[in-house]
Amino acid sequence: MNVVPIVTKVRIVPIAGYDSPTLTLSGCHYPFFTRNIVIIEDDSGNKGIAEIHGGEPIKKSLESYVPFIVGHDIMDYRNIIKNIQKKIGHPNDKGEGIQKLDISQLQYVVHAEAAIECALLDLVGKFLNKPMVDIIGQGRHRDAVPFLGYLFFVANRNKIDLPYIHDDETAGNDEWFKIRRSEIMDADGIVNEARVLHEKYGFTSFKLKGGVLAGETEMKVVKKLHETFPEYRINIDPNGCWSLDEAVKLMKKYGSSLTYVEDPTNAEAGFSGREVLSYFRNVTNMSVATNMIAVNWKQLYPALQMKAIDIVLADPHFWGIEGTLRVAAILNEWGLTWGSHSNNHFDITLALYAQVAAAAPKITPIDTHFIWQDGQQICDDALEIKDGQIKIPNRPGLGININEDKLAKAHELYEKLSFKGRDDTRAMQYLMKDWKFDPDRPVFVR
């Protein structure tokens, strides 16, 4: 009989990677993004790994969890997480979710214990010699997971006096690496972006990050994408910055080009985002996705009760692994769909998304920013997107293993940064003097 391994050591390693000047409602991405890596070791010699959002508040939360983990057997992961939630909780979370949230405040609403759960489940998978998908939720529902190509408008880096990486100069014959740091600000550029991503990764589903230009302009881009690639799934996410009236008008004019629309509008005139999206959905008959108005259990109940949404993008970093799969099971029973939201991330999160999505019963193609960070992998045997999907490898746990040399280099980059959080206003103010985040106005609508 096998003896269950005991946790002997926990490491929290903050790291950084390079990013493009991509644009969102919150402004312009900084040249660097940060993440926190969790490595949990047990007395069998295995390492369980996880990745979660960057920022010192999350790092401090993770460090505070260590006494709840060391000395426990890895199969006790549920009780470990429950004790963390009960005795520490989320002291920085004001309970507002991410309705109209400035992205610089995201670090205060992420549930950092999700990284502990991931690393422990990675260890459990290695102990049982089973892929994570086979030991979580209801078990395996699919062997391959479809992902979407995340399309962004990209600012001209030469107008921003910050050290963006110029990997287009060393990209060789890789067309994607050549264009992803270059300016992309019109419909032709976005269409070309989609073409290149299809050729490199095989995507046939795309999402345009909106909230940058006027709504009418962005929907004309969507229309051109649909006309150019009529067989592809096309979606848009303006992060709720359109008014209800504008969102309804845009959908009536251009909605036939979309598979679904994500958070087209948000709280206004005294109504919550859930109420507003319920009205929007009734008027337009559009399929609606969200990662803003239903990001915890208390918000999910009224959102579903009001029939405000069809797709819940339940990021496991907010819900936990078992939590997000409970969401997926409920949605499936009610004829709705599960998906996952994304932020800038490394290959550990990519593997987590694949494993979790493979265990969800009914899904939409999964979000990922990883294509914008591809080439910065910190693991051996990193999973790859081919033919628009990731095949689950027949390897235990997450199916990947940390490369300590690559981890050390990413940590070294983090230590060199003078600013270790996230604030898209900083880069944006080079493009528009005195620019400030406004949840109700696209970036360049001022």
Q: Strand runs (DSSP E) across 333-442, as ranges?
A: 337-339, 379-380, 389-391, 401-402
Q: How far is CA 376 from CA 9, 28, 410, in A?
A: 26, 21, 9
Q: How many CB atoms lie within 10 A of CB 419?
A: 10
Q: Strand runs (DSSP E) across 272-420, as ranges?
A: 288-290, 311-313, 337-339, 379-380, 389-391, 401-402
By the 8 A CB rule, do 415 and 139 touch? Answer: no
DSSP state of 296: S
47, 226, 341, 369: which one is catalytic?
A: 341
209, 224, 226, 317: which one is catalytic?
A: 209
Q: Strand runs (DSSP E) across 300-350, as ranges?
A: 311-313, 337-339
**What is d(CA 378, CA 190) in angstroms, rounded to the nearest whole number?**
29
Q: Letter for the amino acid at 329?
A: A
**What is d(CA 394, CA 416) in angstroms, rounded to the nearest whole number?**
38
User: What would the DSSP string read from start to end of 50-108?
Assistant: EEEE-SHHHHHHHHHHGGGTTTSBGGGHHHHHHHHHHHT--TT--S-TTTT--GGGGGG
**What is d(CA 107, CA 101) in angstroms, rounded to the nearest whole number?**
11
Active site residue 159: no
Q: What share of the chain is helix, strand, coil (3-state, %, to 5)?
A: 40, 20, 40
Residues with Cβ within 8 Å of residue 362, at least 6 apart in sequence: 328, 331, 332, 336, 337, 338
Active site residue 209: yes
By the 8 A CB rule, do 310 and 288 touch? Answer: yes
By the 8 A CB rule, do 242 and 440 touch? Answer: no
Helix axes 244-254, 215-228, angle to 10 degrees: 20
**Which residues participate in catalysis according to the annotation?**
209, 341
